[in-house]
Amino acid sequence: MHAPQPGRKWASRGAVWLWRTLSHGRCAIAPPKRSYQAEVGAHPGRLRIAFTTKPWRFHEVDSECIDAVDGAAKLCEDLGHHVEEALLEIDKSALANAIWIIVAAQTRALLQRATLVLGRQATSEDVETVTWAYSEYARQFSASDYAEAITTVHRTGRVVGSFFTAYDILMTPTMCTPPHKLGEVSMMRTDIEEYRNIVGGDVGFTQLFNACGNPAMSVPLHWSAEGLPVGVQFVAPFGDEATLFRLAAQLETARPWPNRRSAQTF
C-alpha cells in the first residue's frame, strides 16, 4: 500500500496507512478457504461471544452505547450463540502512549516528505491545525521512543491473540458516544487537547484492533432516542474475516437495517 500523498488530512490518512504496515509482524494470515461472498449467508455455527462496555481508553461511555451492546448480546443469545461478559485486559496507558508517538512521528515524516512536492518546507499554512500540532509534538521523541512504541503494539497484539483462544468474537460499542454533530470533530480546532479527548472517545473501542490487526465490523443494531444509528462492534481473531461475514448476514436477517434512515437533525 502506498503512503498517502501530501495534502489535507495527512494525520488521519497517515494513521490508516500506518496500521496497515505495522500490524502483522506477529503471525501469518492463512488464505481464506473460499471467497468472502460465499461466506455471506453461510451459517456461523454456535459462536463463543464475549462482550464488554469498558473501553481501552480513559473515556466514559454513553448509556446509549451500553444499551446497544446489551441489546445485541440478547439478540446473539436468541440466535443460539454463547454470550458472556469478559474483559480483555491490556496496559491501556502504554498502548495509548505508543499510538500517540507513532501517529505523531508518522505525521511529521509525511510533512517532511511534502518538500518533494512543494519544493520547500511545509508550514502551518499548508495543513490543518491538528496536523501541524501533531507534527510539532513529534519533535520531542527519539528513534528509540518510536522503536519501543512499535514493540508495545506488537506486545499488545500477543495479548489480544491469547484472548481469542477462548472466544470466537468480542462485542463492544463502536464508539463511546452516539454520532457527533457536524463540525464537532474538526481538524481545524485550536484546542488540541479537546480534540484528542473527543477522538479518544471515538476510538476507545476500535483503536486496539486497528493497532493489532484484528478484523472488526460495526453493525447498526441500535438507534438512539434522536433517531441516529449507534454501532455495535464485532471483533474476530486475527485473519478471521470469514466469521464476521457469516455473523453479519445472520444479524441483518434477524434485525434488518437497510431500509432504516437516520432522523434529519440540525
Per-residue pLDDT tens for 159-192? 999 999 999 999 999 999 999 988 889 999 999 9
Specify the higher pLDDT residue, 23 or 182.
182
- Residues 217 and 251: beta-carbon distance below 8 Å: no
Q: What's the pLDDT at 6?
A: 42
pLDDT at 89 over 50: yes
Within 8 A by CB and 6+ apart from 107, the residues are: 10, 11, 14, 131, 134, 135, 138
Q: How do the domains of the chain map onto residue ranges?
A: 10-21+47-254
pLDDT at 55 over 70: yes
Residue with cell 453461510: 42
Residue with cell 486496539: 208
Band of the pLDDT at 105, cuts 50, 70, 90? very high
Rounded to an integer, what distance in angstroms lies between the CA atom of residue 63 and that of residue 69? 10
Can you tell me whether residue 217 is helix, strand or coil? strand
Residue type for 84, please? Answer: E
Tell me the pLDDT tens digit for each residue of 231-255.
Answer: 999 999 999 999 999 999 999 999 9
- Residue of 218, 233, 215, 207 whose CA lies nearest to 90: 207
Band of the pLDDT at 120, cuts 50, 70, 90? very high
**Mean of pLDDT over the chain:** 89
Rounded to an integer, what distance in angstroms lies between the CA atom of residue 100 and that of residue 109? 14
Instruction: Please return the burial class of 33, using the count of CB atoms within 10 Å of its CB with bins 0-12, 13-18 and 19+.
Output: exposed
| CATH H-level, domain 10-21+47-254: superfamily | Amidase signature (AS) domain (3.90.1300.10)
Joined together, the cell numbers standing for residue 142 give 527519539
User: What percent of the chain is helix, strand and coil (3-state, nearest 5)?
Assistant: 45, 10, 45
45-49, 56-60, 247-251: lowest mean pLDDT where? 56-60
Can you tell me whether residue 173 is helix, strand or coil? strand
- In the chain, pLDDT over 90 holds for what percent of residues? 80
- Residues 20 and 1: beta-carbon distance below 8 Å: yes
